[in-house]
Amino acid sequence: MELKYGFISADDHVQEHPEVWTQRMSKAKWGDRIPRVERQSDGSERWVVDGKPVDLGGVAIAGAAMPDRAREPQRWEEVPAVAFKPGERLTAMDVDGVDYSVLYPSVAGRAGETFASLADADLEVACVQAYNDWLIDEWASVSPRFIPQCIIPLAPEAAAKEIRRAVAKGHRGVVMPSVPMMLREVPHINEPVYDAIWAACQELDVPLCFHAGATREIQFPPYAGFSPEVAATMEAITRPVSSVLVVANFLYSRILERFPKLKVVFAETSLAWCAYELELADHQFERQRLHTEGYDILPSALFKRQCHMVGWYDTTGLKTREHTGVKNLLWSTNFPQATSTWPESRQAIARCFDGVPENERRQVLVDNAARIYNLK
């Protein structure tokens, strides 16, 4: 690990370019079902997967690098190169003082959910593998400063197989939509049928990453009367905190008890509600007397043993770090989403970490991510 700036951004997004899937999937086999960019009747362009448009607010998610942050690019020619060209991205990282960047998808879903809703499991696997291959071929091979994470198909055995394949190719984390049972007819995430996935992550020592936004169904829908800009604002506010529901379930799910060495990251959560969530989980554990129901560890202790959340602008998370554990906090720039602190992440960090001792600051900005992603 080489540090020039002292910051590993634990949650950024690659923008897939229009040939990611068309170059890698068999035209003969999949035809027009291959993910691709399509021109709309109004002249704008959209991603289409298996005949259905992908809702990105445009043809890419790149608000932070757009002239007007509230407006996503509507045609591919408007997409800034920093979003999809790894060389340009390295420059954007230098501008913002970022040493390493942990990569999540965009078209494949902020939380890796796009292909999970496909009814055809073979098409799902083909799309997933093309993404995973592309991220190694075109990003990870360019610079060790990119930390690639694979996406997975929902079927547990196929997922475990893909995780092993992807990690062997160089992926360092696993992005999984947190609510598979809300994406298509599959078992609840708490069912032991998913153990193959948890076991693979634990055995390979790669973090399992649940990014916010896996389904709009747990986000309060923006009022139809809002302008697109205000609707996008509401979406950005509701997305991180919708993870409360995911974390609450996870802490009681018994998955962490069955897999005590599994490392979990809840990304784009912000840190500001973390302390409250843990206090609430413990209070409810006590009020509902769950120690009599086979749980031998408090939810907050489980969290501290295995879970992490990711902040990027809130000051609260650092103030409440004694409740959440310093080693459980990660930081990011969230580039290139409109909510990103780029290109002023240094100022955001100075503001949010004001008064935090140097060793704790380094833990959150560098050491925790280095530990989770095994950066030596």
Closest to another protein by CB, 165 or 323: 323
Shortest Å distance, C-beta 237 to another protein: 5
Shortest Å distance, C-beta 372 to another protein: 23
Closest to another protein by CB, 220 or 374: 220
Shortest Å distance, C-beta 345 to another protein: 13
Shortest Å distance, C-beta 136 to another protein: 32
Closest to another protein by CB, 300 or 363: 300
Closest to another protein by CB, 60 or 125: 60
3-state secondary structure the chain: CCCCCCCEEEEEECCCCCCCCCCCCCHHHHHHHCCEEEECCCCCEEEEECCEECCCCCCCCCHHHCCCCCCCCCCHHHCCHHHHCHHHHHHHHHHHCCCEEEEECCCCCCCCCCHHHCCCHHHHHHHHHHHHHHHHHHHHCCCCCEECEEECCCCHHHHHHHHHHHHHHCCCEEECCCCHHHCCCCCCCCCHHHHHHHHHHHHHCCCEEEECCCCHHHCCCCCCCCCHHHHHHHHHHHHHHHHHHHHHHHHHCCHHHHCCCCCEEEECCCCCCHHHHHHHHHHHHHHCCHHHHCCCCCHHHHHHHHEEEEECCCCHHHHCHHHHCHHHEEECCCCCCCCCCCCCHHHHHHHHCCCCCHHHHHHHHHHHHHHHCCCC
Closest to another protein by CB, 140 or 255: 255
The rounded distance, in Å, linking the Cα atoms of 83 and 6 is: 23
Closest to another protein by CB, 80 or 222: 222
Shortest Å distance, C-beta 125 to another protein: 25
Which residues of the chain form contacts with another protein (CB under 8 A)? 69-70, 179, 181-182, 188-191, 217-220, 222-227, 229-230, 232-234, 236-238, 240-242, 244-249, 252-253, 270, 272-273, 275-277, 279-281, 283-285, 287-290, 292-293, 313-316, 319-320, 323, 338-340
Closest CA to 258 of 285, 297, 286, 288: 297
The rounded distance, in Å, linking the Cα atoms of 28 and 324 is: 52
Shortest Å distance, C-beta 281 to another protein: 7
Closest to another protein by CB, 269 or 363: 269
Closest to another protein by CB, 124 or 235: 235
Shortest Å distance, C-beta 224 to another protein: 7
Shortest Å distance, C-beta 96 to another protein: 15
Closest to another protein by CB, 169 or 323: 323
Shortest Å distance, C-beta 220 to another protein: 4
Q: Mark 176-197 as b/e (b = at least 16 C-beta within 10 Å).
A: bbbbbebbeebeebeeeebebb
